[in-house]
Structure 1
Amino acid sequence: MGEILFLAHRMPFPPDRGDKIRSHHLLKALVALAPVHVGTFCESPQDRAHKEELAKLAKTHCLRDRTKPLWRAGIEAVVARKPVSLTAFDDTALRGWVSQTLADHPIDTIFVFSGQMGQYIPDDFTGRVVFDLCDVDSAKFDAYADQGERRWINRREGRLLGREEARLARRADNTLLITEAEAALFRSRLGDISGTQLTALGNGIDADFFDPAATTPHPELATDEGPHLVFTGQMDYRPNVEAALWIMRQLMPVLRQRHPHAFFHLVGRAPTLSLRALHGENGVRVWGEVPDVRPFLAAAHMVVAPLIIARGVQNKVLEAMAMARPVVLTPEAATGIDAQDGLNFAICPADPHAMSDVIAVIYADAERAGQMGRAARQFVLDTKSWGAVLAPLAGIVQRRSARDEA
């Protein structure tokens, strides 16, 4: 095969949040197949500090600072009748680099990571296009609108972004989604699926990195009375914010009636003001960004993930399972993880009394908690390593499509 152009909406380094973890491992797998040229955006000095790591992997690269404020993207989107998600990542310099790269190098495949970057595929490109949608973002905005949150804005974004997702799926030789359930959802929203190929390609986990045997538990959690519950993630991402607020406002008051020394630790960058305001109440501790989440996971009695809006596979769940922690989660957070309820984790509806009961039962039985944690890690080792998950990628990228054969 020829060379690959890889377009991602966020710098694939460092792999410290869900989308960046996936793009990071996809990029490494693609580099093993062919020379790769990378066009992407960085959003912080921390991103740019990893430029040399990107340069070592990529044959060439274009790293653009994403500085366009959301208000400006919103205005441009309304004027252009486009989704805000696209205008926020519209960059003239990157368009020029893509055009020049295609002219200067024998690129036969464009690999697009996330719907925001499909706008950079030239109309006259005749090679393969692989589009990693990951999950159906338009459905997420529809869900926000259904909940009454900024209804007009979110309904508009869901509608326009859905059109762009459908356009890209019909343009691509193969569209990837993280789970079969997400692929089924996308098919239902596409309507006419003739000429489209959808493939489920899941998320993996670096179980050598997330290894409890190589991690020292955080001393403040390891010594204090508990139970200690941990929730991790990007804490200005709305589904995470809503889940964390539910834990703080609804679960912890109920749990503390039974366990007065129960603590909830919120670990993740950029916690919103609404989250920070609850620090210190009902055993809540908001840590914000930390150098390493593993000591918190290693010390937790349980990891909780009561997500209601959850698209794709939750990396936070896989990381906790790899760290051999009992995980209590909602059915939505368990989507795409074919583990066994009661053996590898505990599924519970988002009801504070029901979840408090499940947590109390697991906490009271240290042997059961240990067995669940060990079974969770074994499940990850057996089925969720990145090597195993991305094994089909070579065939996906190299496979000739019906359009190639025409």
Structure 2
Amino acid sequence: MDNNDVVPVFSKRRKRETLMKPPLLFLCHRMPFPPNKGDKITTFNLMNYLSKRFDLYLGSFIDDDFDKKYIDDVKAYCKEVKFIDITHKRYLTSGLKSLVLGESVSTAHYRNDELQSWVHEIINEHGIEYLFVYSSGMAQFIDFPEYKNKKRVLDMADVDSDKWRQYCERKPFYSQFIYAREYKLLKKLEQKVLSEFDAITLITDEERDLFKSLSPEAYSDKIVTLSNGVDTDYFDPSAKFDHTDSPFEESPSICFTGAMDYWANEDAVVWFCENVWPLIIEKHPALILYIVGGKPTERVKKLASIPGVIVTGRVVDVRPYIDKALVAVATLRIARGVQNKVLEAMSMAKPVVMTSMAQEGIALPAEQESLVIDDENIMAKTILDLVSDSARSSGIGEKNRNWILERYSWEGALKPLDKLYPRKNSNDSTS
């Protein structure tokens, strides 16, 4: 999944419905606000959708000081919240602990006695029957025999173990053991949860089918697609947004958006800048590439020394950069699930030149489908053609916008939750 550094503006307080609603425990590994990166966009929309039918008891971690100012925004959607600050916790420490415990790094990193005690207390105090967790590392908090008769759903988003398998294939030989170990442990965890929980949801039909192929046939009916959407009102080219915090160069531009401490994004922009950008800048030396996203790694920061490349770091609003760009690029070589950066750029009426990995799980109109390219020479030529042909670029962008409006609304994407948590009584606010 993609991670964009966007800070959408939402109402600070949401008026809660007065009808009684059944309680639901919602656990996620990162605070679901602001919706400024892939998993947080998803968990925010899950929280929003479920809060219309349930009283939410939300437990989560805070791993970025920037997010602390938004705690009240989350409270507006929930009956009660529990946040654990892990901003100073390091994956290296968790990795060493996982070696001792014989479990995955993900599980060790999120193991927390305080949150575990809160989960037990909340479930018992409120008689909660519906339990929903996002990400496999959070499954541990409801993986107890006493909860086997409750409705337990894990949103895995993508087949996380297979992502680690891909990492293992691309990492240097001296670190492959670490990635291979995580792959094997996560695969074991995923199968354990599948056997015990009521359902596992995945973000695309492709991810669902992959997981089915890796799992016993007896559990196939438990594996469900719960796809991503996009906020088409927010990512709207006609929306009002402030360009003053976006110090643009006068030259024409293209852009790549995403959290730049995420290895798949780092790999994508480094590959693009080393293999495709030189071919573009040779023909169009005035063109600018904006790499837009928070926490850029040292490898990403160094790309700013390349002529025409600007690394922005965290931005208040990513939309001005997409709006100014003649083309958005999504050049991921390792990916799982749906790339929000692709949906958002399409919603902003932009053509998106992307790799086949970035396109995975996203249905495209014919014109946009022709922009799925893995060869660096063809990719460079295509971007140059789009930059020079504004009529073609605008036409593809307009078709993309209409395509997103028709197929990728959040409301429709999350409808399968209604079947996973069926209505039981007349007090359910959506009955």
Structure 1 length normalisation: TM-score?
Answer: 0.94
| Alpha-carbon separation, structure 1, partners of 2:120 and 2:62 | 20
2:383 equivalent in structure 1 = 359
Displacement after TM superposition at 1:22 (Å): 0.3
* 2:33 maps to which of 13, 18, 29: 13
Name the SS for the 1:278 alignment partner.
Answer: helix
**What is the correspondence of 1:32-71 to structure 2 with a 5 Å cutoff?**
32-66=52-86, 67-71=88-92
**1:347 has 2:372 as partner:** yes
Question: SS at the partner of 2:336?
Answer: coil
The equivalent position to 1:377 in structure 2, one of 393, 401, 406, is: 401
Stretches of structure 1 that go unaligned for 5 or more consecutive residues are 401-406
Amino acid at match of 1:361: D
Residues 1:282 and 2:325 aligned together? no
* Alpha-carbon spacing, 1:171–1:196, altered in 2? closer, same or farther (3 Å): farther
Q: After superposition, give the CA deviation of every residue in 1:207-236 in whole Å (9 maximum; x if it has no partner).
A: 10111112458587876233x110011101
Match of 2:108 in 1: 87
> How many Å apart are 1:341 and its aligned residue?
3.9
2:352–2:368 Cα contact (<8 Å) kept: no
Partner of residue 143 from structure 1, selected from 166, 169, 173: 166
State whether residues 306 and 329 of structure 1, in contact with CA within 8 Å, keep that contact through their aligned partners in structure 2: yes
Paired with 1:145 and 1:179, the residues of 2 have a C-alpha distance of 23
> Take 2:59 and 2:49, find their aligned partners in 1: how far apart are those partners?
17
Which residue type is aligned with residue 369 of structure 1?
A: S
Look up the match of 1:258.
283
CA distance in 2, matches of 1:195, 1:276: 44
- Pairing 1:3-402 to 2, within 5 Å after superposition: 3-66=23-86, 67-121=88-142, 122-125=144-147, 126-149=149-172, 150-194=175-219, 197-215=222-240, 218=243, 224-226=250-252, 228-343=253-368, 346-349=371-374, 351-398=375-422
Amino acid at match of 1:16: N
**1:285 maps to amino acid:** I
Cα drift, residue 2 of structure 1: 3.3
Q: 1:113 to 1:333 in 2, by over 3 A?
A: same
Structure 1 range deviating more: 185-194 or 117-126? 185-194
Could you tell me how far apart the structure 2 residues matched to 1:341 and 1:73 are? 46
Query: How many percent of aligned residue pairs carry the same amino acid?
Result: 34
- Where relative contact order (Cα < 8 A, 6+ residues apart) is larger, the structure is 2
SS at match of 2:187: helix
Secondary structure, aligned partner of 1:76: helix
Partner-residue secondary structure (3-state), 1:213: coil
Which residue number in structure 1 is paired with residue 13 of structure 2? none
Moved more, 148-157 or 209-218: 209-218
Contiguous gaps of at least 5 residues in structure 2: 1-20, 425-431
Is the contact made by 1:215 and 1:295 (CA closer than 8 Å) also made in structure 2?
no
Partner AA of 2:69 in structure 1: A
> Which stretch of structure 1 is more off in the superposition, 373-382 or 59-68?
59-68
* Cα pair distance change 1:281/1:346, threshold 3 Å: same
- Paired with 2:236 and 2:65, the residues of 1 have a C-alpha distance of 29
Change in 2 beyond 3 A, CA 1:11/1:218: same
Shift of 1:186: 1.1
1:33–1:394 CA contact under 8 A, matched in 2: no
CA contact (8 A) 1:215 1:298 kept: no
Q: Distance in 2 between matches of 1:51 and 1:17?
A: 17
CA contact (8 A) 2:365 2:400 kept: no
Deviations 1:345-382 (A, max 9, x none): 72111x22110111122122211100111111111111
Spell out, residue by residue over 1:155-205, the C-alpha distance to the aligned partner (whole angstroms, 9 max, x if none). Answer: 000000111111112222111100010011112222454375111111001
Q: CA deviation at 1:7?
A: 0.6
Distance in 2 (alpha carbons) for counterparts of 1:154 and 1:342: 38
Q: CA deviation at 1:282?
A: 2.8
Q: Distance in 2 between matches of 1:175 and 1:399?
A: 19
Shift of 1:28: 1.0
The answer on whether the counterparts of 1:345 and 1:376 sit within 8 Å (CA) in structure 2 is no
Counterparts of 1:344 and 1:138, CA distance in 2: 28
For the 8 Å contact 1:344–1:372, the answer to whether it is kept is no
- Note closer, same or farther for the CA distance 1:343–1:241 as it changes in structure 2 (3 Å cut): closer
Q: Give aligned pairs, total.
A: 398
254-263 or 187-196, which deviates more: 187-196
Give the direction of change, closer, same or farther, for the CA distance of 1:56–1:222 in structure 2 (3 Å limit). closer
Offset, 1:261: 1.4
Residues 343 and 78 of structure 1, relative CA distance in 2, 3 Å threshold: closer
RMSD between aligned residues: 1.8
